[in-house]
Amino acid sequence: MDERTRYFRQLRKLRGSARRWSVVGGGLTAAAAVLTPYAGIGLADAAWAASAGASAALAWWRWSDHRALAATPAPPPAPPAIPGQRLVAAVERFPAGRQVLQEVRRHKERYALRGSAVAQAWDRLDRANATLTGLAGRLTGPGEAATLEAAVAEQWLRDLGQRVASVERAIPLSPPDQRPGIVQAHESLAKQFTEGVTAYERLVAAAASYVAEEGHPASAQHPALGGLIEATDRLRGIAEGLSELRRPATPAA
């Protein structure tokens, strides 16, 4: 829901609430004015009057809020959405759809890099990113900061890889006198991308080591494993004891 739609919805809610409380307050005020002269001010009449006053006050507050909001300029209308964008937004509302769209975008980016000098390094970046995504849920404490740094580095590397591929496609179209400079710049960018992917892989390896060491118990055996072994032995002993009790006794000779 965009800001303009939310603004007008809130305006309608305030107007409707103010009207309802105005009607309730008017009805209670009229009832109190008619019923009070017949028997004087009693307990019931005091309740009628109090309800009428409270309703009138609420109606006044609602109308004040409505006037204040109406005096605020409405947000500008959102640009019309393209049908394809609407479909993408609808699919992204579901976790499974979001994963499918991410996979489609990944294949689209990989297809744009086909035949490029950084295609293999791009595949390595995809594998390292998938591995880090699986480890992200277990990276706590200092690992969370490393995850944020890895996300920033991944965006930079993907932008750099696409830039390398764009420059590489422009090399055959460049004039002969300018081609050596473009080739040199392309090689420098490609080297920077490859070194960045290698550093990203090292970060993923360090994250895996962190997760492994954090989950490793201080002793050689995890307490949960020892508990499983003890429970198994205990149940086996109970089962053997029950078997001995149910076994018929051997008659004496």
Structural element, H or E, at residue 109? helix 95-112
Instruction: Give CA 4 to chain center in angstroms.
Output: 24
Residue 253: its pLDDT value, please? 47
Residue 25: its pLDDT value, please? 76
Whole-angstrom distance, CA of residue 98 vs CA of residue 75: 29
Please list, in sequence order, all residues whose beta carbon lies within 8 angstroms of the beta carbon of residue 193, skipping any fewer than 6 positions away: 118, 121, 157, 160, 161, 164
Q: What is the DSSP string of 163-231?
A: HHHHHHHHTTTS-TTTHHHHHHHHHHHHHHHHHHHHHHHHHHHHHHHHHHHHTS-SSSS-HHHHHHHHH
For residue 136, the 8-state DSSP code is G
Residue 85: its pLDDT value, please? 59
Q: What is the mean pLDDT of each run of 10 residues along the chain (253 residues)?
A: 76 84 77 63 66 78 81 72 57 64 69 79 89 84 82 90 88 86 90 92 89 68 71 79 70 52
Residue 45: its pLDDT value, please? 63
Residue 74: its pLDDT value, please? 74
| pLDDT tens, position by position, 100-118 | 666 677 777 777 777 788 8
Residue 117: its pLDDT value, please? 82
Residue 86: its pLDDT value, please? 62
Residue 139: its pLDDT value, please? 79
